[in-house]
Homo-oligomer: A and B are copies of this chain.
């Protein structure tokens, strides 16, 4: 029985619901927002459980823990590398459909003595709701 780097995770009801609810939304909810979504189906779930499991799932690559600005951590059911944009007014975070630039890591390697592991681009801007001009209906 050889263990891999990937540890087993029992699929408890709590974990299942967290995963499902996170997968339902296109937003990038904070732990507390996930807690609220999950609590509708599991009213007795604890906040600590949500935090513990989000952390655990992120370690196991099931979800993505976003390292974006702002005070709170955010989570994403889409695990492939993509960039984000954050509204400076309401703090909302959206995906931005921009091609990932893989070679940027290599370029940056020449400019630092860090061993570069990854990169992330975060745009800042104002979302349509906050700009007040809703000329056409946003998908969010």
Residues of chain A having any CB pair with chain B under 8 Å: 67-70, 83, 85, 87-88, 94, 96-98, 104-105, 107-108, 111-128, 131, 138
Query: How far does the alpha carbon of A126 sit from the alpha carbon of B131 in the complex, in Å?
Result: 39
A87, A104, A115, A128: most-surrounded residue (chain B CB, <10 A): A115
Q: In the complex, how many angstroms separate the beta carbon of A133 from the nearest chain B beta carbon?
A: 10
Knowing A69-B68, A70-B67, A108-B96, say if A124 contacts B113 (CB, 8 Å): no
A18 to chain B, nearest CB (A): 22
* Contact (Cβ within 8 A) B111 A119: no
Given contacts A69-B69, A112-B123, A119-B121, 17 further A-B contacts (CB under 8 A): A67-B124, A69-B120, A87-B114, A94-B114, A96-B108, A98-B107, A104-B121, A114-B125, A115-B125, A115-B126, A116-B123, A116-B124, A117-B125, A118-B123, A119-B124, A121-B122, A122-B122
